[in-house]
Structure 1
Amino acid sequence: MRKCLHVQQRLVGCELLRDEPGHMMTLEAFNGESGFERRYTVQGDQQTHWKWPVIKSRAQLEYDAWLYAHFYRPLCISQLRKYLTKEKKHVMARVKPRVRVIKRYWTEAGVVQMTCLATGFYPRHINLTLLQDGQPVDKERVTGGELLPNPDGTYQMRKSVELSAEEQRERHTYTCTVTHLSLDNKLDINIGTSD
């Protein structure tokens, strides 16, 4: 006799906006396939998306809505407030990025790769842009740009552009510009094409 194992998963989340409850959501999956999504707005309205057939009666659905409004949401908000109080120093931390420029030369091809690296910053959102003569370098020419975690809980990002020998002779001005919550002003680093 063969036994089957079935797995049902539920993810519930809520948000706290300036000390006021925000949205709340529930996602459910059965055997790895998502099939139910419910979102509650701040005003208590709900949006439900069913991928599976609905097998609950109207009374059961109304009870679920009452349960979320009067039990799950208050519980989620109280737990979130406790966590934020406990971890406020870490959650609200702002760590400035360390920014440096790295140049690699391929003398046989006459190509130079200029890389702008920002590392050690927190929180994770950063705007790192490579400029040529004050204008953003075409996206097709830029490589990198993925946000990566560091082992210490901070983040890093790098972007690179390759310049042909002809582009180097044209004497364009290249700049690495960084904006981040921890910086009062944007940080601009001029990149010389020759040493």
Structure 2
Amino acid sequence: MLYLSNNMKPLFVFLLFCHVASTVKHSLKYVLTATSGVPNFPEFVAAVMVDEVQVGYCDNNMKTAEPKQDWMRDLMNGDPKHLQWYSLQCIVTQHSFRAYIDGLKQRLNQTGAAHILQRMSGCEWDDETGEVTGFNQYGYDGEDFITLDLQTLTWTAPKQQAFTTKLRWDADKDRLEDNKHNLINICPNFLKKYVHYGRIFLQRTDLPSVSLLQKTPSSPVSCHATGFYPDRAMMFWRKDGEEVHEDVDHGEILPNHDGSFQMSVDLSLSSVSPEEWRRYDCVFHLSGWKDDIVTKLDQAVIRTNRVPEFPAGLVVGVVVGLLVLLVICITGLFIWRRNNNGFLPVNRRQ
């Protein structure tokens, strides 16, 4: 979460993605990840996401938080105390979260194995209605552990192992009020500031490049779109202008390293004859953009990794041609060597 009570210092956190449900909603999300016994991975990682774009990062090997977008660097340069605050929280949180994971391991009698504790928190703001929602939840070893219910201002423990933590945290009324204030008031103020400062980047529209991919002739054909922004998009296959649902596998929307997104939808053609391929096309639709990107199913444009198959006659012809060329080269080499050993050309003999 973003802030805590006096006995628990503010946390700077967040990691990866969730999807915005509306075109007018903005989100500020944090994740904190602490690891134990995980080789070749930092013991602490923190990141900040604004509208699903990573804008900040730190880990236990860094002395200061690092802005990840140019507009966020500009904001931090104009307000150095903002960066200092995040850097301080990064350092302070490492120690508190280290204590969390050590305490859990001890209470659950866990030793020696790899364990991961995560905390996801933040807020969403609808810039049309003004509605604000906050969230704060923990996960342990890939499963939900404990979640804050802002309506009842109590903690919910889906796992029996978290019940002791729930009772202790429910009893800390000051911390609960701090959680509510920070998620409903402070977090949205930060979010509005970031959205205003990064509006050119965050409110842009980027269309994707769309390709048809296939691993083998018997594999499904994947319609793959990459480089689009924002992530409010959909993609589907059609036959004769009607959306196809059978033999179709929709992939998730995933982030690219540059802040854009990618997605794919696969179509199995095992029951489709080659003559019917022309009846299919792939449609990509980006929310807020009037024109869809339509890609016809065409064998000629499918990209594949498979090795091309050549006709047997062509292969035999190539081999024979290479053998003839080899004989000519050897004969020429033999004549050249004789001439260089004292033999003269025929027309020069006496």
Same fold (TM over 0.5): yes
- Describe how 1:73-88 pairs up with structure 2 within 5 A: 73-88=184-199
SS of 1:38 mapped into structure 2: strand
Of the three residues 159, 169, 190, the one matched with 2:296 is 190
Runs of at least 5 residues in structure 2 that lack an aligned partner in the other structure: 1-100, 105-116, 302-350
Q: 1:24 to 1:114 in 2, by over 3 A?
A: closer
Tell me, yes or no, if structure 1 residue 6 matches structure 2 residue 113.
Answer: no
Amino acid corresponding to residue 150 of structure 2 in structure 1:
Y
Partners of 1:156 and 1:69 in 2: CA distance? 35
Deviation at residue 68 of structure 1 after TM alignment: 3.2
Partners of 1:113 and 1:37 in 2: CA distance? 40
User: Which residue does the alignment assign to 2:314?
Assistant: none
Runs of at least 5 residues in structure 1 that lack an aligned partner in the other structure: none
User: Which residue does the alignment assign to 1:26?
Assistant: 136
Q: Which moved more, 1:178-187 or 1:48-57?
A: 48-57
User: Which residue does the alignment assign to 2:201?
Assistant: 90
- Describe how 1:1-195 pairs up with structure 2 within 5 A: 5-6=102-103, 10-18=119-127, 20=130, 22-28=132-138, 35-40=145-150, 46=153, 48-50=155-157, 51-53=162-164, 54-55=167-168, 60-61=172-173, 63-71=174-182, 73-102=184-213, 106=217, 114-139=221-246, 141-143=247-249, 145-164=251-270, 167-170=273-276, 173-181=279-287, 183-192=289-298
The aligned length equals: 182
Deviation at residue 176 of structure 1 after TM alignment: 1.0
Conservation of the 8 A alpha-carbon contact between 1:102 and 1:115 = yes
Q: Deviations over 1:13-32 (max 9, x none)?
A: 12222173511122246798
SS of 1:13 mapped into structure 2: strand
Deviation at residue 127 of structure 1 after TM alignment: 1.0
Task: Report which of the two structures shows the higher radius of gyration computed on alpha carbons.
Answer: 2
Amino acid corresponding to residue 85 of structure 1 in structure 2:
H
Q: Deviations over 1:94-118 (max 9, x none)?
A: 1112224457774xxxx58544222
Provide TM-score, normalisation by structure 1. 0.69
Partners of 1:171 and 1:30 in 2: CA distance? 47
